[in-house]
A and B are shown apart, each in its own frame.
Chain A
């Protein structure tokens, strides 16, 4: 293994930190943005996993030994597509939530609260 690219590693760290911070918010839209950041972080991890940059990995372009590893690039591409699709779905969910509730807050579970209330009232179940 060669030395890992320090800049990229730091960027991954920053993206993950920001993504996690946004994930912990109450609003769904912020959570979506958090996922976008996390997705970028994960894709960069895949890119770093491929080792150092090299020549274009196309047949006939460069000799295979000097080319960069194509496999992580293919994986990152797949992951990008998946992240993109899920982001679109989440935005639709945001929209729907605003339509139904008037805001995009991620709510507590109703049933949990009901059970807790029963507990307080000491009701026979």
Chain B
């Protein structure tokens, strides 16, 4: 048990153990909260140390139980996975604090204690497992752990609305999961292994047709989970109804975990020498469909969900370029997108607390009644639209530079779509700003925001905690800008790692750090 194996094991094992403990602690909500926040802080610290360690000494494997591949379960930490793990842990912690402030876990149904805390920890464990996994089947297990937790979270409290939305979400996700198992079965039958490092060699021996088929199957099943157009239908219908913290963490992480899985599997197993035409077209469609959907929504959360779909396209575009520069853009954009979506959804939650509605027709004048919320909204909204010097601009710039370096006519056409989608995102955000924050209120504003059906007065301390954590989410986005130089350099190294399959293989199979 060396230091590095311990570092890799903690993000998966500790949240799972803590989830069990948390379930036992249901009668003591305060202890539950302390436990949750402590565990998340520990995972965050662990991820930070892991990141530094991996950056210094290269890709680190962990063979669980000492079983070597292809028999054992392998966990691998490289620069890319360590970075996304760090950002995810940070986001989870911020959202957890927000949830504590909002009292999400206290919303009981018929005296059944809420399972928010244990489930949330299971969610984190699943996410960490997907990021750190070194074989295809464990990737599926990680996704499944994460999704099981998300099924419970999205139907939290089981109100009529959530049950309806939960059905759509669960059925779509489950279909993707079953197809993923089938795909893994096909991969195993053609190659005889599910270890990613071994697959990266084994896929080279397959016929072009088989490789193409397996690559496509993986893209489709993970594309459903990543909300890639035309497989995005479920997302805007299911996210908006869940409690705010849940929606925020879903929007930030679930689709990005799938994007991570797409990047990981495609770069390792099916590397493309040339820009990938199919994925380029799909990414363009994703960008446009998402943003056009966002322009006509009335519900703020649905609007944000559509922008989320749109920006998945940006990451797919970076992957489709099949170059180190493109992958650098993907890594940068992924990190930016996780933070910005969290911030926006948390702010939307603040708006809902302020007015009791998130319908654009009924909102208005928030800029004068809640200037802090307005300010917190503006920064991530501009970042999403790609206004310099915010983080979104840095990510988009990296992607466009990569596109110019790859200049085929199709790539340039899709790069134009990137610009157009950014502009339209800005337009959607401006529309949101004008309708919700700027114009005179559409209807008289109630005196006290807390006087709503089914909710008592929220104590001032909790309201402060909610605002503080939303502000923290926005601040993380600004930190990305402050650290733009080192972050870009790191992303470049991470992308070079992704493109360099031989060192990944060496690190996993023969134990020499690559």
Contact = CB atoms under 8 A, between A and B. Distances in A.
Interface of A: 1, 23, 28, 31, 35, 38-39, 41-43, 45-46, 48-51, 71-72, 75, 78-79, 82-83, 85-86, 89-90, 93, 96-97, 100-101, 106-107, 109-112, 114-115, 118, 125
Contact of A114 (B188, B189, B237, B298): B298
Contacts of B299: 111
A125 B182 contact: no
B144 A82 contact: yes
Interface residues of B, number: 43
Interface of B: 70-71, 137, 141, 144, 148, 151-152, 155, 158, 160-161, 163-168, 170-171, 174-175, 177-179, 181-182, 184-186, 188-190, 194, 237, 240, 296-299, 302, 360-361
A118 B296 CA distance: 11
A1 B297 CA distance: 53
Contacts of B144: 82
What does DSSP make chain B's interface, helix, strand, loop or mixed? helix
Contacts of A41: 178, 182
22 contacts: A1-B189, A23-B171, A23-B175, A42-B181, A42-B182, A45-B181, A45-B186, A46-B185, A49-B185, A50-B189, A71-B70, A72-B185, A86-B151, A86-B170, A100-B163, A101-B160, A109-B165, A112-B237, A115-B296, A115-B298, A125-B360, A125-B361
Contacts of A42: 178-179, 181-182, 185
What does DSSP make chain A's interface, helix, strand, loop or mixed? helix
B296 A97 contact: no
A101 B181 CA distance: 33
Contacts of A107: 164, 167
B166 A93 contact: yes
A115 B297 contact: yes
Contact of B137 (A38, A39, A78, A109): A78
Contact of B184 (A35, A46, A96, A125): A46
Given A71-B70, A86-B174, A106-B171, A125 B185 contact: no
Contact of A85 (B137, B148, B297): B148
A1 to B, nearest CB: 7
A116 to B, nearest CB: 11
B258 to A, nearest CB: 17
A27 B497 CA distance: 48
A19 to B, nearest CB: 8
Given A35-B178, A86-B148, A96 B158 contact: yes
A118 to B, nearest CB: 8
